[in-house]
Amino acid sequence: MATGTDRLAAPATLDDIRSCVHCGICLPACPTYRALGEEMDSPRGRIYLMRAVAEGRLDVTETYTHHLDLCLGCRACETACPAGVPFGSLLETARAEIERGGRRPLRRRLLEAFIFGVFPHPHRLAIVLGLLRRYRRWGLQALVRRSGLLRRIPPLAAMDALLHDIPRTDGAPPEFLAARGRALGRVALLTGCVQRHLFADVNHDTMRLLALAGWDVVAPREQGCCGALELHGGRLDAFRARARALAATLPSDVDWIVTNAAGCGSALRDYGHWVDEDATRRVAARSRDVTELLVEADLPLGSLPLTVTYHDPCHLAHGQRVRTAPRALLGRIPDLAVVPLADSDLCCGSAGVYNVLEPEMADRLLALKIARIVETGARTVVTGNPGCLMQIARGARARGLDLELVHPVTLLARAMRWEDR
């Protein structure tokens, strides 16, 4: 019979679970606990459940699965925890256990099969986005909306509402952009799956800004998915295979591997934790969010008279502990007013594909986020993750709000006096 530690997929251990001292300091930081007030939907409650399963006192039941599925994986509890409990790894390990047990309802399993069969595959994603474009253009969307089908299948409604604009793009930025002036070194850009197809302009702006900051930038065309969705979904074998493949594709002689999607950056920084090999450890050690490199540069920024507010993506603030660099960069743009956002690091409900898998809770969190944004009076929201950009834009559209959602590099690119370099 499996012992407690045998039932955990390394490297998260029973000792990690037992490092929770049940103090409850993390509870106010947890979005699902704030929404429901239920212990079992708090970090502490979920750790109790994980411990019971790991010690063989509880089976992987539907109730257990439900409480863990409702967790956003936002890792706000990790930031709050004084005991250093690695909640993200514990959750990913527990979800791997659920995956092995196959306890989810058929509808959920079918939805996950679609999501994991499409999103981490850039070519398949391009085909699906092309079909969705036609679905709009040929009036099928209006037909489906009128049919009432979306009301009966909330995940479908969530996807329909999220993908409002599907830009036509080949998705690929140039494979190389030389530094302006003397090069500080060389960096590789992770172009991302969703980012590549839906926010290609962010990749282009990232490359231009990095080149201006003095970096030779390479963006290998054949790079695959980073595996973030699979990691957070507990599909650890698939994640490990993707981590190895990506580490083999990214050049080993670069100073930094730059990400501009918080979820991808967070996964890359965890590579060495989950795949203890030279190449993956190297990727983890060299991963940096684009704002961390740009904040070191002396960019020629011109006036941008605008009032904005900044939302912290969970996987940037909690997953990578990057909070000051984006704010410092915004603070350098002349005439840009940055209004603080209350609960700026509280999840907006996007959380990878959470808003499709758990639309009800995602909507509650989105409503809270939109209310906070409205309080600021800002008409532009800045945030560095494609999921947050789409989720908050969707919330604004649904309420008829005139809100613009932009990535920090988009705003920087807008403010740049390109001709000055």
Name the site residues for ligand SF4 (rule: CB under 6 A): 20-26, 29-32, 43-44, 46-47, 71-77, 80-81, 83, 85, 87
C-beta of 11: minimal distance to ligand SF4 in Å?
18
- Cα–Cα distance measured from residue 30 to residue 144, given in angstroms and rounded to the nearest whole number: 36
Q: Which is nearer to ligand SF4, 31 or 395 (CB)?
A: 31
C-beta of 365: minimal distance to ligand SF4 in Å?
9
C-beta of 113: minimal distance to ligand SF4 in Å?
24
Q: Which is nearer to ligand SF4, 103 or 315 (CB)?
A: 315
Q: How many residues does the chain have?
A: 421
C-alpha torsion sign, points 279, 282, 286, 288: positive
Q: Is the peptide bond before 408 cis (omega within 30 degrees of 0)?
A: no
| Closest residue by Cα to residue 303 from 338, 341, 336 | 336
> Other CB atoms closer than 10 Å to residue 75's CB: what's the count?
26
Q: Is 251 helix (H, G, I), strand (E, B) or coil?
A: coil
Q: Which is nearer to ligand SF4, 21 or 113 (CB)?
A: 21
Torsion angle of alpha carbons 169, 175, 180, 186, nearest 10°?
130
Residue 183: DSSP 8-state: -
Q: Which is nearer to ligand SF4, 30 or 304 (CB)?
A: 30
Q: Which is nearer to ligand SF4, 232 or 288 (CB)?
A: 232
- Cα–Cα distance measured from residue 337 to residue 411, given in angstroms and rounded to the nearest whole number: 12
C-alpha torsion sign, points 94, 97, 101, 102: positive
- Burial bucket for residue 379 (CB in 10 Å: 0-12, 13-18, 19+): middle
C-beta of 355: minimal distance to ligand SF4 in Å?
13
Q: Which is nearer to ligand SF4, 90 or 411 (CB)?
A: 90
C-beta of 402: minimal distance to ligand SF4 in Å?
30
Tokens matching residue 278: 């030279």
Number of H helices, E strands in the chain: 25, 9
- Cα–Cα distance measured from residue 20 to residue 12, given in angstroms and rounded to the nearest whole number: 13
Spatial neighbors of 339 by CB under 8 A, at least 6 apart, are: 307, 308, 309, 376, 377, 378
- Cα–Cα distance measured from residue 89 to residue 75, given in angstroms and rounded to the nearest whole number: 10
Residue 176: beta bridge partners?
Answer: 218
Q: Which is nearer to ligand SF4, 72 or 306 (CB)?
A: 72
C-beta of 111: minimal distance to ligand SF4 in Å?
20
Q: Which is nearer to ligand SF4, 53 or 416 (CB)?
A: 53
Q: Which is nearer to ligand SF4, 80 or 241 (CB)?
A: 80
C-beta of 74: minimal distance to ligand SF4 in Å?
4
- Burial bucket for residue 221 (CB in 10 Å: 0-12, 13-18, 19+): exposed
Is residue 83 a contact partner of residue 13, using CB atoms and an 8 Å limit? Answer: no
Q: Is 380 helix (H, G, I), strand (E, B) or coil?
A: strand
C-beta of 38: minimal distance to ligand SF4 in Å?
11
Q: At what angle do helices 386-398 and 359-376 cross, to 10 degrees?
A: 80
C-beta of 190: minimal distance to ligand SF4 in Å?
23
Rounded to 5 degrees, φ, ψ at 257 are: -110, 115
Q: Which is nearer to ligand SF4, 173 or 313 (CB)?
A: 313
Q: Which is nearer to ligand SF4, 76 or 115 (CB)?
A: 76
C-beta of 378: minimal distance to ligand SF4 in Å?
25
C-beta of 362: minimal distance to ligand SF4 in Å?
12
